[in-house]
Structure 1
Amino acid sequence: MKKVAIILADGFEEIEAVSVMDILRRAGIEALGVGLQNLEVNGAHNIQIKADLILDDIKVDEFVAIVLPGGLPGAKYLANSQKLGEILREFNLKNLKIAAICAAPWALSTANVLKNSYTCYPGFEKNIDHSGYEDNKNVVIDQNIITSKGPATAMEFALNLVKEICSYEKYMEIKKDLLFVD
């Protein structure tokens, strides 16, 4: 079974984390919550999630992708984590999927793994030291990097992850089951 690490820092955006985890699991992917520092992580709206493991326990070779939910101050903690930066660079060197939504592309910028184009929460591109911001797309895929705008785009983001990790057929199946219309 394919495994994906969803990194949870205190102050993460719950919709972005739980929607992605749910949709990936529906597609048969082992989507694991990974606490940046602790197993118990508090979301931006005071919803507590118990992670499956912590970042220090990550073995990159066991995963096909890493996902960073946004939210504040969660995205700031992600961007400031040297350990996460090292892991993101290792994922990138191995050409594994790296996905970030909302404010979380900030961490991709600080790890220096963004490619040519990306998107993020509108207005937050000012915090990301990288040209190539696209404001006219909900999801931007640039090589192995997948970015998205924010909470309302979380399902579309997750479905694109299914397409990239599994197949177009699995993407269409899950999309139909969820009644997702684009």
Structure 2
Amino acid sequence: MRVAFLSAPEGVEQVELTEPWKAVSDAGYEPVLVSTEPGRIQAFDHLDKAETFPVDEVVGETSADSFGALVLPGGVANPDLLRTDDKAVAFVKSFFDAGRPVAAICHAPWTLVEADVLRGRTLTSWPSLQTDIRNAGGTWVDEQVKVCDSGPNKLVTSRKPDDLKAFCEAFLDVLAA
């Protein structure tokens, strides 16, 4: 199974990309880096530039139909940039429409807010997003990891990098089901 990892050209929190990527790969799935532009993305360690990573596929030239699941890494700038890109938002929404699993960590639910897919869903995130999530019709909880199946798909969310172990385990459980 191919798993899309959606990132803006810059601003992704590196560990929130690399740890789930490694977990997905180690479990035998194929991680694919999707971005809004070809080339490389610039990852960050908080506010400092970290490594760059090659883009495998570009939003608008690929489809959710070619993936079994979606991972949305966080970082403050990453989801904020994604939510302003109509093709990225449509790409995210298409996973919900198709009933495919989505995992989002830290600030990544901002993109879910923009995709209007949170009504009736329960999720967690970085605490500063709780008002945005509630305003989008979701229920925010302060938990290490939350798996919500009260919608067309399974939604796995976590709050921050310290939750990555639980986030990856929960997502892999959803993929294996």
Give the TM-score category using the shorter length.
0.7 to 0.9
Q: CA deviation at 1:39?
A: 2.6
- Which residue does the alignment assign to 2:141? 134
Q: 2:159 aligns with which of 149, 154, 157?
A: 149
Distance 1:39 1:53 in 2: 9
Q: Runs of at least 4 residues of structure 1 off by over 6 A? A: none
Distance 1:138 1:26 in 2: 22
- Answer yes or no: is 1:69 the counterpart of 2:79: no
Q: CA deviation at 1:112?
A: 0.8
CA contact (8 A) 2:113 2:132 kept: no
CA contact (8 A) 1:98 1:146 kept: yes
Higher mean C-alpha displacement, 126-135 vs 81-90 = 126-135
Q: CA deviation at 1:57?
A: 2.6
- Structure 1 regions of 5+ residues with no counterpart? 168-182
Distance 1:142 1:31 in 2: 22
Q: How many residues align?
A: 165
Distance 1:8 1:88 in 2: 11
Q: CA deviation at 1:51?
A: 2.0
Deviations 1:104-157 (A, max 9, x none): 10110110112421100122323443341001x111111221111111112221
- Which residue does the alignment assign to 2:125? 120
Q: 2:107 aligns with which of 69, 86, 103?
A: 103
CA contact (8 A) 1:5 1:63 kept: yes
Higher mean C-alpha displacement, 29-38 vs 69-78 = 29-38
The structure in which a higher percent of residues are strand is 2
- Which residue does the alignment assign to 1:54? 58
What's the TM-score once normalised by structure 1's chain length? 0.84
Amino acid paired to 2:5 = I
SS at match of 1:57: coil
CA contact (8 A) 1:44 1:72 kept: no
- Structure 2 regions of 5+ residues with no counterpart? none
Distance 2:117 2:132 in 1: 16
CA contact (8 A) 2:12 2:42 kept: yes
Distance 1:127 1:36 in 2: 24
